[in-house]
Amino acid sequence: MIYKFLAKYGQLLGFALGAVPILFFVLILLIGGEDAAINFELYSGIFLFIVGVIVLVGWSLYQIIADPKGSAKGLMGIGALLVVFLVIYFTATPETAGSLGKTRIEFNISDAQSKLITGGIGLAILLAIGAALSFFYSEVRNFFK
């Protein structure tokens, strides 16, 4: 039911939801000035981000509950990413010397925060490499079809 609705009106709905904050921004800019408009956009952006996260989590939970067998691969993928992140996190050693050590001191970054950053960057690099390899594989496969 919702699929048919989104298939029919999804682009219009997305455009309208994107256009409404812009229209509010222009109106507030004309009425209240630049500071009021910037504050409105900042708070509306935060609000829309929070709403998006809530919808994402809610929809994901709904899909998992509605089709647990079909969701198994996705959940295993998320679990694998979590395991990779944890391995990188626990094997990371916080840098204390050199320019990176100076930067840690300058920005008051703790050892745990440094390991968290290392884990995030390591996981992002692995995901980027995986995406590049997947893209390359699919292009080569399509070339020979």
The residue out of 24, 45, 66 marking a domain boundary is 66
Same domain, 62 and 108: no
Same domain, 78 and 113: yes
In this prediction, residue 103 has a pLDDT band, given cuts at 50, 70 and 90, of: confident
- Report the domain count for the chain: 2
The residue out of 12, 46, 66 marking a domain boundary is 66
How confident is the model over 20-48, as a mean pLDDT?
83
For residues 45 and 42, what is the distance between their CA atoms, to the nearest angstrom?
A: 5
Same domain, 54 and 84: no
Same domain, 49 and 11: yes
Query: For 48-72, b where at least 16 C-beta lie within 10 A, e where not — what string?
Result: eeeeeeeeeeeeeeeeeeeeeeebe
Domain that holds residue 112: 72-143
pTM across the whole model = 0.60
Same domain, 88 and 107: yes
Same domain, 20 and 81: no
Same domain, 89 and 133: yes
- How confident is the model over 113-135, as pLDDT tens digits? 999 999 999 999 999 999 999 99
Higher pLDDT, 116 or 36: 116
Same domain, 58 and 17: yes
The residue out of 66, 96, 119 marking a domain boundary is 66
- How confident is the model over 66-81, as pLDDT tens digits? 988 888 888 899 999 9
> How much is the pLDDT for 81?
94
